[in-house]
Chains A and B, each alone.
Chain A
Amino acid sequence: MSDLLQPILTVDRLTMRFGGLTAIDDLSLAVPARKITAVIGPNGAGKTTLFNCMTGFYKPTLGSVRLNHPQRGVLALEGLPSHAVAHRAQVVRTFQNIRLFPRMTVLENLIVAQHNPLQAASGFSLAGLLGLPAYRRAEAKALETAVGWLTRLKLIDKADVAAGDLPYGTQRRIEIARALCVDPVLLCLDEPAAGLNPRESAELNELLQSLVADDDLSILLIEHDMSVVMNVSDHICVLNYGRKIAEGTPEEIRNNPSVIQAYLGEEEDENMDASTEGAAP
């Protein structure tokens, strides 16, 4: 199942130290293109730190992160500032503790995500101030993109509501919709199912699968919710204490003794079996 011949992202011998603490220790990982890859592991295993190193928020102590961009060739992400990772490499992430622009409307959140093309079209605001047709067209197109994603994520009714006034599960969806507006090639989701109810997380599963199938996206996600991880992932990587302890298909991970021992434990194991029953393969 895991097609590792064409990885979109290759993490090579990545190490991140904070003072004496080694959050990521010599980690290598390949993220296949047009697949869903999950990174799992207990709290403090270094999952979010991995995201931060990939997306330019932290400078890794050692190692490299290479993106195989479909149009722009191979890009070294570890040297890029965070905004360039999103803008130039089109690797876009969400956050574990949702980061929306709470006082702006949902629609505005999605338009801000298209800042770079819009800003270019507005000619450093000059064309925009004059209301030139080229800018008007770009704005209409941005609006269309935003409305498209809002409709697809069933958020269109909430478009003109301040993002901060909406319930938690909706905010999670908005954050994903906003990330999609950046037009990513690789979408990195940090615990997208945290705090969702079972119905919402089932919808999330569907969405993630359709993004890969219909939109040719590659997805990397950090998740604790095993019903999501086991159902949608093509490939799973298990971290513990900053090291990779296992990698493989959901089937392989489920039966991997070191994962069960080091991470899942007795109760978690039952949990996992229960949640995967009736799952679509």
Chain B
Amino acid sequence: MRAPVLVHDALTLAERCKDAASVALIGLLLGVPMVGLTTVDQGGALQVATRWPLLGAFVLAVFVGRLVLRYSIDRVSAGKRLRERAEGAATASSAGGAGWVRQLGIAALVLALLMPIVFSDNRYVVDTATTVLIYVMLGWGLNVVVGLAGLLDLGHVAFYAVGAYAYALLSTQFGWGFWAALPVAGGIAALAGLLVGWPSLRLRGDYLAIVTLGFGEIIRVVLVNWTDFSGGPNGIASIPRPSFFGLPFRPPGDTPSFAGFFGLEFSPMHRIVFLYYVILLLCLITNLLVTRLRKLPIGRAWEAVREDEIACRALGINVTGVKLSAFVFGAMLGGVAGVFFAARQGFISPESFTFNESAIILAIVVLGGMGSQLGVVLASLVLVLLPELGRDFSEFRMLLFGAAMILIMIWRPGGILSRREPTLRVARKEGGA
């Protein structure tokens, strides 16, 4: 992928150092205004503070990093050439790839089912796992749009917000229950997707990115400013939590409750675990739907549109319709995830629906492997768990996301798990006919 491919043994150490030094010089130029200098507020006025040691370390890191990177790239490409020469044009397709993905998926499912039983008294673990699953659901929804249909949607969070506010308003204003509101809010989000997608999907691909970005901002600005409707920056509070088939999770009292009905001792963990299983169920339904749809004509058309729009048109496929269906389906899944989010938090405000959130969901899809369901799970785990490991990391989280998105695109434009399973195969007995 690197522009000049140099044979590694053609470079002397001096040449390597010279190359690294010139990169370090660029690093110095980039670093002086950002790393070397900063302004700090001192008594109401800004003062310049210098961090020369940090800058020195930064430039040194760039120098060493470049040396190592260059060397390893050369090694890898030289090795690849050698191997290619040795093996000829032999295609190195590993047939066993599909099996382990499936096994890993089943293992993950078993783990997910057992997790709250094992950690039934650890609220923190179950809560974090619930957050992971929300991102899995969001990731799977966006994966249909970006990974399968190849449409860059930078405003997925808007549909998440639409779902969340739809449930919040339906429940607080009209007394709707969680399960009744779920499909309706999903439908409203799908309608929003239709409204955004219909005008913008007939445009060139990169315009869609900017229109969805703008739409995400419009939704946020409206939520912040239309106080009568959305509560403005204060958001909407005391959103009812989902109940267990009509039995609320609360200490036993006059009205029947979950604990009372089953004769259990009341514990706040009941609701936490219940919420976990609800999102797990929603995720499983999503997964089932997406897996099935991928093997149906519409799913294959999504992928075909991603691969070559013009060829699709020449084969009689209405490209706008196909794109719209992917976009609306993704929006609906985002809306359903939003309903769950609102029900779980009990409180929502526009702060939860910023561009950063869209960027995180996109990062999950991109890092995990576009089109890969398991990849989304792994990426969600990594992106949610790593910041939990320490405060230091969470400060660097978005910085690393950004860097990772660039590196992954350069290294593997298809994402880390980019292996694609065919949706159908020729039955061999027919093949011989």
Contact between B307 and A119 (Cβ–Cβ < 8 Å)? Answer: no
Q: In the complex, which residues of chain A have a beta carbon less than 8 angstroms from the beta carbon of B318?
A: 83, 87
Given A156-B426, A159-B426, A160-B425: A111 touches B311 (CB 8 Å cut-off): no
Q: Chain B residues near A220: list those with CB within 8 A.
A: none
> Are A125 and B296 in contact, with the CB atoms below 8 A?
yes
Q: Tell me whether B425 and A115 are in contact (CB under 8 A).
A: no
The answer to whether A108 and B316 touch across the interface, beta carbons within 8 angstroms, is no
| Complex CA–CA separation, A144 to B433 (angstroms) | 11
Chain A: which residue is nearest B421 at the CB level?
A: A105
Interface segment among A66-74, A96-104, A225-233: the answer is A96-104
Closest-CB distance, A100 to chain B (whole angstroms): 7
Question: What is the bound-complex CA distance between A268 and B401, given in angstroms?
Answer: 59
Within residues 159 to 208 of chain A, which ones have a CB less than 8 A from any CB in chain B? 159-160, 162, 165, 178-179, 182
B289 at the binding interface (Cβ < 8 Å): yes
| Residue of chain B at shortest CB distance from A102 | B307
A241 interfacial by beta-carbon distance below 8 Å: no
Question: How close is B428's CB to chain A, nearest CB, in angstroms?
Answer: 10
Per the 8 Å Cβ criterion, residues 289-343 of B in contact with A are: 289, 292-293, 296-298, 300-301, 303-304, 307-308, 310-319
B410-431 interface with A by 8 A CB criterion:
420, 422-427, 430-431
- CB contact list, A91-124 vs B, under 8 A: 92-95, 99-105, 107-108, 111-113, 115-116, 118-119, 122, 124
Which listed residue (A86, A93, A119) contacts B301, Cβ 8 A?
A119
- Distance of B265 from chain A, by nearest CB (Å): 43
How many chain B residues have a CB neighbour from A under 8 Å?
33
User: Given the complex, which residues of B lie within 8 Å of A87, measured CB to CB?
Assistant: 316-318
CB distance from B327 to the nearest CB of A (A): 15
Q: Do the beta carbons of A82 and B300 come within 8 Å of each other?
A: no
Given A122-B296, A147-B426, A160-B425, A104 and B304 touching (CB < 8 A)?
yes
* B312 contacts across to A, CB distance below 8 A: 83, 112
Complex interface residues of chain A between 109 and 152 (CB less than 8 A to chain B)? 111-113, 115-116, 118-119, 122, 124-125, 128-129, 143-144, 147, 150-151
In the assembled complex, the CB of A177 is this many whole angstroms from the nearest CB of chain B, namely: 12
Interchain CB contact under 8 A, B315 and A104: no
Minimum CB distance partner of B430 in chain A: A147
Q: Given B297, B314, B426, which contacts A99 in the complex, CB threshold below 8 Å? A: B314
Q: Is B91 interfacial (CB-CB < 8 Å)?
A: yes
Q: What are the 10 tightest A-B residue pairs by CB atom distance, in nearest-first order?
A: A87-B316, A86-B316, A101-B307, A99-B311, A118-B297, A128-B296, A82-B313, A159-B426, A119-B297, A112-B304
Please list the residues of chain A having a beta carbon within 8 angstroms of any beta carbon in chain B. 55-57, 81-88, 92-95, 99-105, 107-108, 111-113, 115-116, 118-119, 122, 124-125, 128-129, 143-144, 147, 150-151, 156, 159-160, 162, 165, 178-179, 182
Interface residues of B (CB under 8 A from A): 91, 289, 292-293, 296-298, 300-301, 303-304, 307-308, 310-319, 420, 422-427, 430-431, 433
